[in-house]
Amino acid sequence: MTDTMPSQAADHAVDLTQQEREADLDLDQLKQLVGLVEYDENTDVFPVTGWDAIVFVAGNATQSAHYYQSAWGMDLVAYSGPENGNRDHKAFVLRSGSIRFVVKGAVDPDSALADHHRRHGDGVVDIALEVPDVDRCIAQALKAGATVLEQPTDHTDEHGTVRIAAIATYGETRHTLVQRTVNGQTYAGPYLPGYVPSTSSHVRREGQPKRLFQALDHIVGNVELGHMDEWVSFYNRVMGFVNMAEFIGDDIATDYSALMSKVVANGNHRVKFPLNEPAIAKKKSQIDEYLEFYRGAGAQHLAVATNDILASVDALRANGVEFLDTPDSYYEDPELRERIGNVRVPIEELQKRKILVDRDEDGYLLQIFTKPLGDRPTVFFELIERHGSLGFGKGNFKALFEAIEREQDKRGNL
C-alpha cells in the first residue's frame, strides 16, 4: 500500500480541459467543486487529464436520453445511430457543465450492448478518460500487467483525428483512453468520429437553473468481497493513481455500515475512484445487493458536483427525481449538530431537503443520494457541494446509522 500523497505536491499549474473551458468554468471554481490540485504530469507514469465521457448502456437509450434531459437538465450535443450509418446501436451524447454522458442502446439484437444489458441491466459500461499520450499509457499498462482491450488506433473524420485505446477494469467495465490532440491538432468534432452534432428538442421549465450540476466529482466502484485492495493496487500500479486520505476501515465501520472503502485519484484529483467491498455485518450489505443484481463488480454511483445543492435538489425533485430519505433524528441529534457546526444555510433548510452534511479538518461537504436510476437496485447518482472538504462523506455512514440506533434505543428495541 502506498502512502497518502500530500494534496499540494508542487507548484505545477493545471490547465483547464476543453470541456471545462466550454462550460465557462475556471480553476478556482474547479478547486472548490471537485478538489482539483496541481501536480507534475512529467513524473506521472500514466498521465490522465480528466474524465472524457461516462458511457451508459440502457434498455431504451431513446427514452433514457429524454430522462437525462428533462429530469437532470443535461443538453444533447451529439448523436450516432442508424440515420448516420451506425446500424448497431443508438448513442446520445449529453452534457452538463464540464461532463459528458453518453447513453447507448442496442438497435441490432446481436449487438454486444444487448448482451451486456441482458446481464448487467442499465449501468456504466465505460469510464472513458482523457489522456495526453495514449501510447505512453498503454506501454505502462502492458508493463504493469493490465488487460489491454484495444491497442492505440487513430480514428479520423472531417473534424480531425483522435487516438484511442482501452483497458479493462473491474467486472466488465472498461477505461477507454482518449487522446484528443494528435500531431499538434486538436479534434474539433462534437464527440468522436462517427457522431454528428445534435440539439435538445426538450424545452427547459421556466425558472429552472441553467444547469443542475457543473462537473463530475467521483465514481464509486463496487467489487467483490476481498477484492478491494486488489483494485486499489491496480489503480496504483497500472495507472499511477494515489491513495486519498479517506479510508474506511474497522475503526469506523459499525455493525450496520456494511462496507469497506478506499479511495484512489489521478494526479490532479479530477478523477477519483472510491472502491467498495462488502463487509460482514448484521444485515445483508448494500454492496452485496448490488453485486447480486449487477451480476458482479461495476460502477455503483456517480457523484456530480454543484455549487448550489439546495437549488439543484429543488429542481430535480420538481422534475420527479427521487432521493433517499434521511430520518429527522439525523438533524435533531445533538451530537450530530455539534459535529456539523456552522454551514452556509440553517440546518432546517437541509432537513427540509434531506441533504446530509459531513465535516473534516479541511472543511465540510453537503451531499444527497438518489434512488437507483433503473429497474435494478444498482447504479445511482449523488449530488455533492464541497466547502473545503476533500472527503466523500464517511462520517455520514456512521452518523446515519447511529442516529437510527439512538431512535431504536429510545423505543427500547436495541
Q: 164 or 303: whose CB is closer to Fe ion? A: 303
- Minimum CB separation of residue 197 from Fe ion in Å reads 33
Q: 267 or 393: whose CB is closer to Fe ion? A: 393
User: What string marks each residue from 250 to 289 as x (binds Fe ion by CB under 5 A) or -?
Assistant: ----------------------------------------
Q: 91 or 260: whose CB is closer to Fe ion? A: 260
Q: Count the site residues for Fe ion by CB under 5 A.
A: 3
CA distance 178 to 134: 7
Q: Which residues of 60-93 are buried (b: 16+ CB within 10 A; e: fewer)?
A: ebeebbbbbbbbbbbbbbbbbbeeeebebbbbbb
Residue nearest to Fe ion (CB): 303
- Minimum CB separation of residue 217 from Fe ion in Å reads 8
Whether residue 335 contacts residue 209, with contact meaning beta carbons closer than 8 Å, is answered with no
Q: 192 or 220: whose CB is closer to Fe ion? A: 220
CB atoms near residue 251 (< 10 Å): 6
Q: 358 or 382: whose CB is closer to Fe ion? A: 382
303: contact with Fe ion by CB under 5 A: yes
- Minimum CB separation of residue 88 from Fe ion in Å reads 33
246: contact with Fe ion by CB under 5 A: no
- Minimum CB separation of residue 303 from Fe ion in Å reads 4
CA distance 397 to 390: 16
Ramachandran bin of 207, using left for φ above 0, alpha for ψ from -120 to 50, beta for the remaining angles: left
Contacts 24+ apart (CB under 8 A), 325-329: 325/354, 326/351, 326/354, 326/355, 326/356, 326/400, 327/400, 327/403, 327/404, 327/407, 329/403, 329/404, 329/406, 329/407
- Minimum CB separation of residue 301 from Fe ion in Å reads 6
Q: 91 or 303: whose CB is closer to Fe ion? A: 303
**Chain residues 353-392 in contact with Fe ion, contact rule CB under 5 A:** 382, 392
C-alpha grid cell, residue 238:
497500472
- Minimum CB separation of residue 382 from Fe ion in Å reads 5
Q: Could you list the residues that contact Fe ion (CB under 5 A)?
A: 303, 382, 392
